[in-house]
Structure 1
Amino acid sequence: MTYCKITFNAVFLFCILYLCSCAGFKYSNESYDNSNKKNIGILKPISLISTIGEKNNMIYDSTLSSQTTDQLFSNTAEMTGTDKVPTHIEIDVNTQKIIYQEIFSLGEKLNHAKSKKQKQVVAGNYVISETIYKVFTEHNIDQLIISYHKGFTRTKSNYRSQSWKGLGVGLLTLGAYIPTPIKANSLIYTWVLDKNQKSVVFSNMSLKEIEPTNSTAFTKQICELYLNFYTTQTPQGICYHR
């Protein structure tokens, strides 16, 4: 397993901290017809997975991040439900930075919108940049899916030691307060852009206390992320693509 420290781009860090604090991230263009099968492109997702281990430090794990990046792409492609496999799009680092800065700025504005009508106004005023439009034309796609994933897990020894510390606090407070460490979490943001609309037609976020490397749980999280756009759910809670 490979470990290395990571330095977050200041813009990414600000946007993620901001968006995590907001609940109204979801947006869907209700007049948008998504029933026709389209040529879909999926921008290679950014997935940042960290491991909390010795000394309770959070360290970026490049191996786990690579694994979740691949699964995020394959599961997203599956959820679109199209007969034609979506195009896997890779771009250079500078273009990637420009696109994510643009899309995080949009997410911030959508979060500021307090009502569905205000969100529609924000989305209606947003027009994709030439940089993003070029991705559409170069890859001959109608829809572009952009995702950002961040999560963490703990080593068994770390979780055990933090749990014992919580029990110690519980004893000192006579059970009034027993802190329980979060073992893991997985946070996903997604945006779907349309070439003809030249705008966003869907966005959503999902934060769950699951192991980001748990394939079954991660697949379910991704499926639920696209509910009522690419996917649907049975009364029993089984999620699947349309």
Structure 2
Amino acid sequence: MKNLLIIFLLLTLFSCGTNKYLTSSVQATEVENMNYFKPLSYIQYIKKGNKLERNDSLSNITQNKIDSILIKNKSQYRLSDKITIDNDTINAKIESEINYLAQIINRTKNLNDIKLTPTIDSIIQNNDQRFSLIIVAAGFRRRKGNYGGQVAKGAAIGILTLGMAVPTPIKSNLFLHGFIFDSKNHNVAFYKRVLPQEKSPTDPEIIKKQLNSLFEGYFYERK
């Protein structure tokens, strides 16, 4: 299931998108003191050509930096306590259910009638909070030296096709998904994914910028 979520995230990474958020009937003013799940992070590493491989080290760095930023900015993001789960089976179910919810939302483009999945619903109810947040990160970084070679290949293809097809390689990329779950109504209250940025997926400034972007226009005005 983890591989399915990675595939889905990568597809949305390269697909067209907007910075618009989706909400249920719940108003933003109702969303307060959210518990939050440990962030999920799927960072790929490109060693050769354009072949992506998940990199645990990069994924963990990004995950920890997101977690640190959430902790330091709890009031801004209306957060209370972190939900910590030390059970691999349950964590795998959460990832599977996030994959399921993300695919439905991506297909329907709305949150109407999207009910919470059993594991997530049970966890947030057991933590005695109505709302809970989870952030999911996806992105990639190239091995040093890989980018120049791909640029040269792109230029060669451009010459052969008279400039009609010039694939532009990207050094690195990051984008975030944000979900707010509602245990009272047993549904997804908020969802947004930010447009990808061609920056390092482990850069804390970029991560903070994307976290802020997730809630612009919802929790606070756009800057």
Tell whether the structures are fold-level matches, with TM greater than 0.5.
Answer: yes
Bucket of the pairwise TM-score, normalised by the shorter protein: 0.7 to 0.9
- For the 8 Å contact 1:224–1:231, the answer to whether it is kept is no
Of 210, 225, 229, which aligns to 2:214?
225
2:37 aligned partner:
43
Shift of 1:44: 0.9
- What are the ranges of 5 or more consecutive residues in structure 1 without an aligned counterpart? 1-7, 235-242
- Length, aligned pairs only: 218
Deviating more after overlay: 186-195 vs 74-83: 74-83
Counterpart-to-counterpart distance in 2, 1:19 and 1:174: 30
Normalised to the residue count of structure 1, the TM-score between the two structures is 0.74
- For the 8 Å contact 2:181–2:187, the answer to whether it is kept is yes
Counterpart-to-counterpart distance in 2, 1:139 and 1:27: 25
1:144 aligned partner:
132
Of 113, 121, 139, which aligns to 2:112?
121
Q: Aligned to 1:188, what secondary structure does the other structure show?
A: strand
Larger of the two Rg values belongs to structure: 1
Deviation per CA, 1:93-148: give whole Å up to 9, x if none: 2112222323332332233326xxxx35323xx1452x324322443333211222
Greater relative contact order, per chain length (Cα 8 Å cut-off, separation 6+): 2
Counterpart-to-counterpart distance in 1, 2:23 and 2:147: 38
Shift of 1:82: 5.8
Identity %: 26
The one-letter amino acid paired with 1:121 is N
Counterpart-to-counterpart distance in 2, 1:14 and 1:214: 23
2:2 aligned partner:
9
Counterpart-to-counterpart distance in 2, 1:150 and 1:160: 23
Counterpart check, 1:196 vs 2:196: no
1:71 aligned partner:
65
- For the 8 Å contact 1:51–1:58, the answer to whether it is kept is yes
| Residues 1:86 and 1:70: Cα distance change in structure 2 (over 3 Å) | farther
Indicate the RMSD between aligned Cα atoms, in angstroms: 3.0
| Residues 1:65 and 1:201: Cα distance change in structure 2 (over 3 Å) | same
Normalised to the residue count of structure 2, the TM-score between the two structures is 0.80
Correspondences of 1:68-107 after superposition (within 5 Å): 68-77=62-71, 78=73, 81=76, 86-91=80-85, 92-107=87-102
Counterpart-to-counterpart distance in 2, 1:133 and 1:174: 55
Counterpart-to-counterpart distance in 2, 1:219 and 1:26: 18
2:156 aligned partner:
168
Counterpart-to-counterpart distance in 2, 1:28 and 1:195: 15
| Residues 1:106 and 1:55: Cα distance change in structure 2 (over 3 Å) | closer
Deviating more after overlay: 177-186 vs 134-143: 134-143
- For the 8 Å contact 1:185–1:207, the answer to whether it is kept is no
- For the 8 Å contact 1:75–1:219, the answer to whether it is kept is yes
- What are the ranges of 5 or more consecutive residues in structure 2 without an aligned counterpart? none
Counterpart-to-counterpart distance in 1, 2:51 and 2:35: 37
Of 89, 106, 111, which aligns to 2:106?
111
- For the 8 Å contact 1:136–1:142, the answer to whether it is kept is yes
